Amino acid sequence: WRFVLPVSVLIVLVVGIVAGIYPALVLSSFRPAAVLAASRMPTGGRVESMLRSVLVVLQFGFAIVLAVCTIVMTDQAAFVRVLDRGISKEGVIVINALADASLTARQEEIVRRLGEVPGVRIATRSDMYPHHTDDSDDYRRPGGGSLVPVWWGYATPGYFEAIGARLVAGRLFDVHQGSDYQAGRGQEGAGSSIIISRLTAERFGFASPEAAVGQELREDLAARTYRIIGVIDDIRFGGAHEPMRPLLYSGRSGSFDEAGAIIRYEGASQAEEMARLRSAWANIAPDVPFSAQGVNDIFADDFRSDQNYGVLFGIGSAVAIGIACLGLFGLSSFNVSRRRHEIGVRKVLGADRRQVLTLLVGQFLRPVFIANVIAWPVAWVFMSRWLSGFDQRIALTPWPFVIAAGGAGLIALLTVLGQSARAAANPPAASLRAG
């Protein structure tokens, strides 16, 4: 607020001063004697008339750009909200307090006790969970091939079931298979089991997920060889801005750094289960503050900021359209008053009400049409660049532009229709006397 409030006040002052300059200059240019002698206020010349129209065009152009941005941002936020992450969003809680270094030696005990909390169906550990995939190394296929950077992590029994990962080929880790779960890093023997994601299989050139099962990968720095036992569907742990990462899992039975507790629960709301876990944590690890978040809440952070931007742009668009309509209303009032004599002459020469109304409305909607011609390319450039920052994004179609243009045109039509209709309905004699 220390920054926002002064900036807001400054913007209001600058806009107010700039907005008052034009009418002040126009009024100060009138000669008092001419004004008092005339039966009506001077209308200004051709330059002044053009300037009024230009200002209305700029106001509507700015409003249309904001409206297009609002629609696109809202659509993108809605798209990210329902984006398939490859795992379950509901019924899963991540307790990242387990990553505290003081709890490393007690990880297995803590997770076991968390599994006894009412409502918990699966309690497991991993250092790979939403917004937490930090470790990467280079791997290659034995016998040659280029190095491929892969993000790797550990999975303990029940992990894939807890997060709802989808197996597409092979099998998951099995506690009855001696090579699946290792006690610690560096203790893996030749051919230790790993599970990779579909993207990882593609990066290493396997023809299909099924073709990757049974093949081996070699860690470049440690010169260890691993055997692929399964391939899961791609998981997007990062935000929609980040590219999909190739993943690799090793089974682990012992403790490891940066572990989070993954809890799948049922039969309770997230708030109820979170309260149970918090209460249990106070007894299990009272010296470490409880820190946990639902997976759906973690992923909600990905679109919340863009959604907020959309709301702000929507408010700005509404204000800008309102200001533009005030300008258009003033311009239409001015032009109707100035053209009363012309309207009377047209009606005397046979023009009916519909023809006069079409003439006036068409003239007043012309600035809105010009504003669209200017605003569309600007909005297209802005939104194309903004969307390019997302790895997963909507297509930029003409619909947001059509909707924004239609909305602005309809509001503008309603703004000038009343005055134009009254002017078209006036008897010719009254219009000629007024002119």
Q: What is the pLDDT of residues 172-231, one digit of tens each?
A: 999 888 778 887 655 555 568 999 999 999 999 999 999 999 999 998 877 788 999 999
Q: What is the mean pLDDT of the chain?
A: 81
pLDDT at 37 over 50: no
With DSSP H G I counted as helix, E B as strand and the rest as coil, what are the percentages for the chain, rounded to 5?
55, 15, 30
pLDDT digits 0-9 by tens, 309-337 = 778 777 877 777 777 777 767 766 666 66
Closest by Cα among 136, 134, 126, 135 to 96 = 126
What are the CA-CA distances from residue 227 to residues 150, 172, 196, 254, 266 (Å)?
15, 13, 10, 20, 35
For 52-78, what is the mean pLDDT? 85
Looking at residue 235, what is its pLDDT? 95
Would the pTM of this model clear 0.95, i.e. be above it? no
Tokens coding 132 = 């937490």
Cβ atoms < 10 Å from Cβ of 420: 24
The confidence band for 387, taking pLDDT boundaries of 50, 70 and 90, is: very high
pLDDT digits 0-9 by tens, 344-357 = 655 555 555 666 66
123: which residues sit within 8 A by CB, 6+ positions away? 111, 112, 114, 115, 117, 158, 162, 261, 262, 263, 264
Looking at residue 18, what is its pLDDT? 55
3-state secondary structure 269-317: CHHHHHHHHHHHHHHHCCCCCCCEEEHHHHHHHHHHHHHHHHHHHHHHH
Tokens coding 286 = 């009272």
Looking at residue 337, what is its pLDDT? 62
pLDDT at 398 over 70: yes
The H or E element spanning position 401 is helix 399-425
